[in-house]
Structure 1
């Protein structure tokens, strides 16, 4: 049985950070991730976006490569930063944290 056709592939992303939100407007995924403007992603052929909550995104489709590519493009708009951990990450992804400056 072919997995892509029968079940499909999906990648789950989560948004961490104050005011970071995701929502669907028709066929567009709109992200508010701390920029002066909202970032929009159009649904491509064979790829669908879902937002079960304001801080989670599910990218699904039948082609594993395209699903991973779309998820990576979404993550790249605001990759997790190592000091506070804010940004867009895959569910279950470990982000190594750094210690800040000690100060005087």
Structure 2
């Protein structure tokens, strides 16, 4: 069991290191549309904070106000098919958005 725990810790540290060193805003949403994790650049682009973890994206204005985002996330969860498009944020900035199904026991999404 200790070997499995050590491997899990190592994998988590790799993920944390990746997040700290990426310039791409990313966040993970589970099948219940709850925010599970996000990269530091998501703070700047979507005004996400650590206190937002565990909250429904319906309750996060920067995400819920993106036109059609929640419907697209639901579709990706249902179909397990990637989604790619350009989006405009509420402050008129444009981004390339990719929504990818991501599975670990429970369906999750990775947004990049």
State the TM-score, normalized to the length of structure 2: 0.24
Decide which structure has greater helix share. 2
Larger Rg: 1
Relative contact order (alpha carbons < 8 A, sep ≥ 6): 1 or 2 greater? 1
TM-score of the two chains, using structure 1 as the length reference: 0.25
Higher strand share: 1
